[in-house]
Structure 1
Amino acid sequence: MSILVFGVISVAVIIFDQWSKQYVQSHMLPGMSIPVVDNIFHITYVLNPGAAFGILENQQMLFIVIALIMLGLTVYFFKQIPHKFRLIRLGLSLLAGGAVGNVIDRVQTGYVIDFFDFRIWPVFNVADIAIVTGVSCVIYTLIFMSFPNENQEKSR
C-alpha cells in the first residue's frame, strides 16, 4: 500500500465520518434518540466533551495536540514500514482518518459528535470505529506476523 492509498483511505474515513455527523446534526437535537432495534441499537445524538467513555472531559486542547502528534508520527512511520506489512499500513490509514475526523469536531464545536448507541457500550461514531479497527489491525499484525529478529539477520 502506497502513501497515496494511505491518503485515499484516510480521506474516505474523514468524509464518511463528517458526512454522518452532519446528517445526525441536521436531523436531530442533542440527546435525541431514535430506536433502530428497540433497547438494543439506537441512533442517539451525543456531544462528547471527553475521550473514550467520557474521560478527561473538556480537555479539548490536550486531545487536539495528542491527535496531531499521533498523526505526524503515523505519517512518518508509515514510510518506514515495509510494503509487505499491508495490514499495519491499512491500520495506520484508518487510525489517521479517524483521528482527523474527531479533531475536526473538537476544533469546530469543542465536542465529538457520537451517535451509534448499543445501550451496553458508550455511544460512538464512524471515526471511533476507524480508530479501533486501525489499532486492531496493528495489534493483530504485531502479535501474529513473524518478524525477522537480529539473530536471524546476522546468520544470513
Structure 2
Amino acid sequence: MSLRKSTRIMPLILQFQNKSKERYVLQWILTLMQVHAYCMNVYSKVILWIIHIPIIKSAQLLPMNNNVKVRSNFFDPIPWTVLIFTVLTDQATKWLIIDNLAVGESLPATGFFRFTHAWNTGTAFSLFQGYGDILTWVSLAAVAVLTWIYSSIKNPPWVLRVAFGLQFGGAIGNITDRLRLGHVTDFIDVGPWPIFNIADSSIVIGIGMLIFYFWFLNDDSRKDPQDLDSDNSQAPENSSIARKTPNSVE
C-alpha cells in the first residue's frame, strides 16, 4: 500500500473509532440496503460508491432519539401518504399490464420506450433471478430495518420523510407481488436498461433524495462530528439553566 493511500485511510479508521456503536451499525445497514436495490454491474457499482460516501459521512450526524421523548415517527402522515400513493400506483399499473398484455408482449412492438410485460423473480432491475423465496424474506427484513432506522431519527426533515415513504412504498409494492403471484411484474422498458416498475423507481428516487439531502441540504454534514457531540452534550445543560431562571428571579 502506498504512503498516499495509507494517509487517506488512517483518518477514516480514526473517525470510525470515534463513532458510537448505534450510529456505526446504522450507517452500515443503510449502505448494505443499497446493494439490495441496485444491479451489480459496472454502472451500479459506481452508483453504490457515490451513495456510500454521503451515507458514511452523514449517518453519524443523524439526530437519534436516544430515549428522548419526541413525537413518534410512526404517526407521521407524510411517509404514510407517500407510501399509500406509491403502493396504489404500483399495483394499479401492474394490474393494467397483466390485464392487457401477455407475458413477453410489448406496446409498441418496437421503440426506445415501451411497455413490456415481464416476470421478475429477482430484485430490482431483474437482479438475482430464481431466488424469489429467499428475496421475499430479505425484502421483509429490509422493511423492518427501514422501520427501525426511521423510528430512530428525531424530528426528520421533510426530504427524509418523503424519501423513506418512497422506499417503504416500493418495497411493499414488490413484496405484495411476491406474496400474491410468486414473482414481480415489470413493464417499463427503456432502451438497453433492464425492465423495471413503479416500485423500483420509487426506491431509486427515495435513495436519490437521501443522497441529495446528505450532500446539499444537511448543514450538519459541514461540521466536525466532535463539535456536534459537544453541542448535543451542552444542550440539556442549557435547557436546565433556562428552567431554573424563573425560580431564581422569584
State TM-score, norm by structure 1: 0.88
Question: Are positions 1:9 and 2:87 aligned together?
Answer: no
Match of 2:146 in 1: 74
Q: Secondary structure at the match of 1:50?
A: coil
Higher helix proportion (structure 1 or 2): 2
Does residue 113 (structure 1) correspond to residue 185 (structure 2)? The answer is yes
Structure 1 residue 76 displacement after superposition: 2.3
Q: Secondary structure at the match of 1:46?
A: strand
Q: Secondary structure at the residue paired with 2:196? A: coil
How far residue 53 of structure 1 moved from its aligned partner, in angstroms, is 4.0
1:113: Cα distance to partner? 0.4
Residue 103 of structure 2 corresponds to 30
Q: 1-side partners of 2:126 and 2:156: how far apart?
A: 37
How far apart in 2 are the matches of 1:93 and 1:129? 13
Select the structure of larger CA radius of gyration: 2
Task: Give runs of aligned pairs for residues 137-152 of structure 1, distance below 5 A.
Answer: 137-144=209-216, 145-147=218-220, 149-152=225-228
Q: 1-side partners of 2:138 and 2:129: how far apart?
A: 15
CA distance in 2, matches of 1:53, 1:12: 21
Range moving further from structure 2, 87-96 or 55-64: 55-64
Residue type matched to 1:13 in 2? T
Distance 2:205 2:161 in 1: 12
Measured after TM superposition, the shift of residue 52 of structure 1 is 3.3
> Quick check: 1:43 aligned with 2:119?
no
Bigger strand fraction: 1
In the TM superposition, what is the alpha-carbon distance from 1:18 to its structure 2 partner? 0.4
Report which structure shows greater RCO (CA 8 Å, sep ≥6).
Answer: 1
Tell me the C-alpha RMSD between the 2 structures: 2.0
Identity of aligned residues (%): 25
Shift of 1:68: 1.2
After superposing the two structures, state which structure 1 stretch, 76-85 or 117-126, moved more. 76-85
For structure 2, the 5+ residue unaligned runs are 1-72, 235-250
Task: After superposing the two structures, state which structure 1 stretch, 2-11 or 88-97, moved more.
Answer: 2-11
Retained in 2: the 8 A contact 1:94–1:133? yes
Runs of 4+ in 1 over 3 A off after TM superposition: none
CA distance in 2, matches of 1:22, 1:8: 21
Query: Per the alignment, in what secondary structure is the counterpart of residue 123 of structure 1?
Result: coil
